[in-house]
Amino acid sequence: MKEIILDTETTGLLIKDGHRIVEIGCIELENLIPTKNKFHCYLNPERKVSEKAFEVHGYSDEFLSKKKKFAEVVDEFLTFIKDKRLVIHNAEFDLSHLNNELKILGRETIGNDIVDTLVLARDKFPGSSISLDSLCKRYRIDNSKRTLHTALVDCDLLSKVYINLIDQKEPKLNFNNTNPNLNKEISKSVLYNKKIVAPSDEELKNHNIYLKSNLKKNYFN
């Protein structure tokens, strides 16, 4: 099954304040393995970027003024995501902005199936921080390149978080596949990062105390 990891950056938070999209990033997954297919564009929002948004992504008005408008990329974007499930962190935000851009052009809103990783994380870790950075830390995913919020970097991180959230630690492989390059492609795809951490002396001590007090047949005396 093909899925699209999707992220956007905007001029600000609220559509009612006239904010627009400045960047769209998409990474395609097939059976949870990233393919080489990506969609990425910077957009001229035809308005100024708010100070807070600039602090988040770093895209200046001058930089964006030279980019294409959404109307110039909309067909390519819709073709890329057609009939594929979209995986988004805080989907309500991204979809509201994407649908607003489509409404401005008189186009139909997005009707794809949606997986919101924010909802998945909230259900799995109630009461814990579920930001993308927090989830990367929880799953020991290297997010050192995320000095600013940029769509493709965020998509790459989200793809790894998503695989961990759904407990799919390894991709499902078709062993009948006759493609000789399959294993090479899989080996190049770092889908998650798990580290084996040795217990401390204190943890070992507590573990032995637990075993002594809970095992019916005590082998430690």
Structural domain range at position 118: 2-194
Task: Return the DSSP state at 68.
Answer: B
Tell me, yes or no, if 149 is annotated catalytic.
yes
Q: Which helix (H) or strand (E) holds 82?
A: none
> Could you tell me the two tokens for 208?
């032995």
Task: Report how many domains make up the chain.
Answer: 1
Cβ-Cβ contacts under 8 Å for 58 (sequence gap 6 or more): 148
Whole-prediction pTM: 0.74
Catalytic residue among 19, 40, 97, 149: 149
Cβ-Cβ contacts under 8 Å for 14 (sequence gap 6 or more): none
- In angstroms, the Cα distances linking 71 to 26, 37, 46, 91, 110 are 18, 22, 12, 22, 15
CATH number, position 148:
3.30.420.10
CB 27 within 8 A of CB 4: yes
Whether residue 119 is contained in a domain is answered as yes
pLDDT tens, position by position, for the chain (221 residues)?
A: 999 999 999 999 999 999 999 999 999 999 999 999 999 999 999 999 999 999 999 999 999 999 999 999 999 999 999 999 999 999 999 999 999 999 999 999 999 999 999 999 999 999 999 999 999 999 999 988 787 778 999 999 999 999 999 975 544 444 444 455 544 443 443 333 444 455 666 666 665 665 565 444 433 33
The amino acid that residue 10 corresponds to is: T
